[in-house]
Every structure is written in structure tokens, then in C-alpha cells.
Amino acid sequence: MIAITTSNGKTHEKEAAVRRQGAVLITGASSGIGYATATRLARRGTIVFAGIRRQVDGETLLREGAGNIVPMLIDVADHTSLLRAHAKIESLREYRLEGLVNNAGTALAGPLELLPLAEIRKQFEVNFFGALATIQTFLPMLREHHGRIVNVSSVSGKLALPFLGAYASSKFALEAASDALRLELRPLGVSVSVVEPGAVRTAIWRHSSDKSLKILDDAPLERRADYDAAIRQSMRLAQRAELSGLTADRVARTIEHALFEKRPRARYLVGFDARVRVALARLPEPLRDWIISTALGTSGHPDPAPARHF
């Protein structure tokens, strides 16, 4: 309580209104889009709870964060990890959680025939279930302050390309959940937006390529041989797209808009190639398949199997 002196000289006591500073939680902030978003928001004066996987990444963020970044060890696939982060944020009473950016993600490439189901499940554990678990954990805080959720998806959540089926499937699932959440949470004052970048100059695919190639090396040669040429062409195209892709900061700027503009949109498509992919997705499937197969050099196909009568 504090004493307030009025214009007529009388005094009365009034409860001091202490305004807590708004904060945003970003998962996957160790590098790439998450790192760029954390440092960008910190420069504008926003308090950022930066989810990282290694302590050393937190030290880098602290140096770049102008005193506005609070690194936290978070593994979105580990519920205990999320609960520890929740308890930590809840204990910092000087801040109020107003935004959540679900950015943590992994990438896995390869033919669906050859990818072990265990590896595909790991992809979903981070890209889909991890995002949903993070939302469920922190939603009570966001509801309290009419906060915002930004899910970082991909244009792969609109169109699945060959050999990216596992990754695209996890992003399609995230897109569907985001649509449902947007309508479920709107009456509660919480907005949900999806950011859909095209190719981005980050290390996510470089980090996954060794693992993907190891998985393919372990596959039986007679099954792998049918895919080898197409896989190599796909990798060449992916590397070329990455080199000419968006900067991580360009995507971070879009995430910033989704968090702070007056009327956030449901979706933010980022990059020229993303728009091309969406346009391609709207074409009739035979034409679309021909264009993609031609680009990969797989347009030739064996004679169709004879009609079956079951």
C-alpha cells in the first residue's frame, strides 16, 4: 500500500499497481530461426525465455541478448523438461508470459519405404507432439494474459515433396492442430498463428543429412538402388535452395509481426519459393506430379500394372 495525496490535500492509501513486464518463450533458440527471433525480440526490449539444448548455447545468447534473454534448458520431447521450465517461469514473478513461439524442430529425409518407423516417430515427437505438449504446458499462463501462440511450420506443411514425407507429415499435423487451436482458443482471448517459410539458410538440413544418409546406408542395397539417383538429385536441389534461401532473420521478422501486430493473421507465408510451392499444390495432381517428377529426373516410370480383380 502507498499513500496518495489528492488535490485537496487529503491523503488516502491505494494499492500500488506493479506492472509486470511481458515475456515470450521461444523453443529451439540455440540456432537458426529460433536464435534470430530471440536476439531480434531482445533488441526491441522484450524479455525472451530462450529454450536451448546445451548450456554453451545459452552463453552465446546471453552475450547477444542485451540483458533481455533468459536461457532455459528445454527438450520439448521431454515432459519433465517442460515442467521444469514452467516452474522456473512461474517463479519469475516480475514477468508475465504473453507469447509462445514453437520453433523447435528436426528434419529427416529419405524414402518412406526405407526410413525406420522409430526415426519417423522421433520426428513427430519434436515437430508435432513436442509443440502440442509445450502449448498444453504453458497455455494457462497465456490464457491469463490473452497471449499469442506462433507455430513455426513450413511450406512442406502445404505440399509434400518426395523424400521429405516424414518431415512434411509432421508439419501437416502441426498445421491441422493449429487450425483447430485457433478456433478453440479465440473465445479465450488467445490467438494462434502459423509461420510457413520456404527454404531458409539454416543448418537444419545439414545436421540431418549425415543421419539420413546413415539410415539409407543401412538399408538393403537392392531396395536402396531404386532411389539412389533421385535422392542425389533431391539433395542437390535442396542444397541449391538453401544457399539461395531466406535468412533466418527474415523469418524472425515475420514471427515478430505475428506476435506484436494489432490483428495477427492465421498464416504467414514467407519467401518467393514458398509461394511457388503453394501455387504448385493447387494444381491438379497429374500436372503437379509431372512437374515435380521432371524436376527430380524421375518422370520416367514402368508400364502400369495390369488391372486387378479382387
The full set of domains in the chain, from first to last, is: 13-296 (3.40.50.720)
Residue 254: enclosing H or E segment and its boundaries?
Answer: helix 248-260
8 A C-beta contact, residue 291 and residue 298: no
Question: Of 141, 25, 41, whose CA–CA distance to 74 is shortest?
Answer: 25
The answer on pLDDT for 305 being more than 70 is: no
Counting Cβ atoms within 10 Å, is residue 47 exposed (0-12), middle (13-18) or buried (19+)? buried
C-alpha 50/C-alpha 23 separation (Å) is 10
Query: What integer is the mean pLDDT of 32-53?
Result: 96
Choosing from 35, 95, 167, 268, which is the catalytic residue? 167
Question: Model pTM?
Answer: 0.87
pLDDT score of 191: 97
Weakest mean pLDDT among 28-37, 201-210, 259-268: 201-210
pLDDT score of 310: 59
CA 30 → CA 150, 191, 210, distances in Å?
Answer: 18, 25, 20
C-alpha 258/C-alpha 260 separation (Å) is 6
C-alpha cell at 284: 491438379
Identify the band that residue 233 occupies on the pLDDT scale cut at 50, 70 and 90. Answer: confident
Q: Give per-residue pLDDT as tens, 110-129.
A: 899 989 999 999 999 999 99
C-alpha 282/C-alpha 158 separation (Å) is 10
C-alpha 216/C-alpha 227 separation (Å) is 10
Question: 234 versus 276: which is more confidently predicted?
Answer: 276
The answer on pLDDT for 71 being more than 60 is: yes
C-alpha cell at 289: 506430379
CA 201 → CA 75, 123, 256, distances in Å?
Answer: 23, 21, 19
35 is catalytic: no
CB neighbours of 79 closer than 8 A, spacing ≥ 6? 133, 137
C-alpha 128/C-alpha 30 separation (Å) is 19
